[in-house]
């Protein structure tokens, strides 16, 4: 049976609808202002569907930009050390969104440990999305461009197997898994000028190749209950 391929934003918004949400990595450093201006900042979209929404990020500049836009319930914090410094310690959350941040973290196991105390509410979940190590476009760049297509702040990439293994080691149980296809915003970028060939590669990966070569991976998980 093939693993499903979903739209990342739709998947996240559906998971957060009517729920109390903690959005870790809520800015888009260093592109927060641009993301606000073009309407793509995920935190703004979450605000439309969540019953309550709180945001945390280590990027103080990005947090200040969001506050200037009228966004409340924000805090500057290191998500790898929230076990000691949780600014929203008294709040119970239904779901924690960690969208496109784990690939930036030098200590992902420490991050996952820091999430466990926050997931104390029965039925609470952690939703992680991250870029796929086997994304076809990244492989294409390497084969024909002779270079890595890597974000300057990324320190690691995950596949389905490696992400699930990390979660298992850290004592998490996966409830749902999905690959995600490239975002609409990035599609517009790929359609410009000579980049059309990259758009073709992405379409080929999504529509013809196995889901293994999709843009990213998503898991919904929770700490394993002690027996």
What proportion of the chain, given as a percentage, has pLDDT over 70? 90
The per-residue b/e assignment along 146-178, b for 16 or more CB within 10 angstroms, e otherwise, is: eeeeeeeeeeebbebeebbebbeebebeeeeeb
Say if strands 20-24 and 74-76 run parallel, antiparallel, or are unpaired. Answer: unpaired
**DSSP code at position 97:** E
Q: For 66-102, how does the pLDDT look when each residue is reduced to its tens digit (9 = 90+)?
A: 999 999 999 999 999 998 889 998 899 999 999 999 9
Q: What is the predicted pLDDT for the residue at 189?
A: 56
Q: What is the predicted pLDDT for the residue at 188?
A: 60
Average pLDDT along the chain: 89
**DSSP code at position 209:** S
Q: What is the predicted pLDDT for the residue at 2?
A: 75
Average pLDDT over residues 18-44: 93
Residue 29: pLDDT band (50, 70, 90) is: confident
**Residue partners of 50: CB distance under 8 A and separation at least 6:** 16, 17, 18, 19, 20, 21
Residue 50 has pLDDT above 60, yes or no: yes
Q: Are 49 and 18 in contact (CB under 8 A)?
A: yes
Report long-range pairs for 168-171 (Cβ below 8 Å, ≥24 apart).
Answer: 169/109, 170/109, 170/112, 170/113, 171/116, 171/223, 171/224
Longest CA span, the chain = 58
Q: For 179-212, how does the pLDDT look when each residue is reduced to its tens digit (9 = 90+)?
A: 998 766 555 655 565 566 666 677 677 777 778 8
Q: What is the predicted pLDDT for the residue at 184?
A: 60
């Amino acid at each position: 049976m093939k693993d499903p391929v979903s739209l990342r934003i739709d998947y996240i918004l559906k998971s957060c609808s009517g729920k109390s949400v903690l959005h870790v990595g809520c800015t888009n450093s260093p592109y927060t202002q641009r993301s606000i201006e073009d309407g793509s900042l995920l935190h703004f979209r979450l605000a439309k569907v969540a019953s309550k929404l709180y945001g945390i990020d280590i990027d103080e500049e990005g947090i200040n930009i969001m506050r200037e836009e009228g966004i409340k319930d924000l805090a500057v914090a290191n998500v790898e050390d929230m076990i000691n410094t949780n600014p929203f310690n008294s709040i119970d959350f239904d779901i924690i969104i960690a969208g496109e941040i784990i690939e930036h973290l030098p200590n992902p196991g420490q991050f996952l440990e820091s999430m466990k105390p926050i997931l104390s509410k029965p039925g609470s979940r952690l939703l992680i999305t991250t870029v796929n190590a086997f994304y076809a476009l990244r492989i294409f760049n390497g084969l024909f461009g002779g270079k890595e297509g890597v974000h300057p702040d990324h320190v690691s990439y995950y596949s389905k197997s490696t992400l699930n293994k990390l979660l298992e080691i850290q004592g998490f149980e996966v409830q749902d898994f999905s690959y995600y296809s490239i975002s609409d915003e990035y599609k517009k970028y790929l359609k410009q000028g000579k980049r059309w060939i990259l758009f073709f590669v992405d379409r080929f990966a999504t529509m013809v190749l196995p889901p293994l070569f999709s843009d990213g991976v998503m898991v919904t998980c929770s700490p394993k209950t002690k027996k």
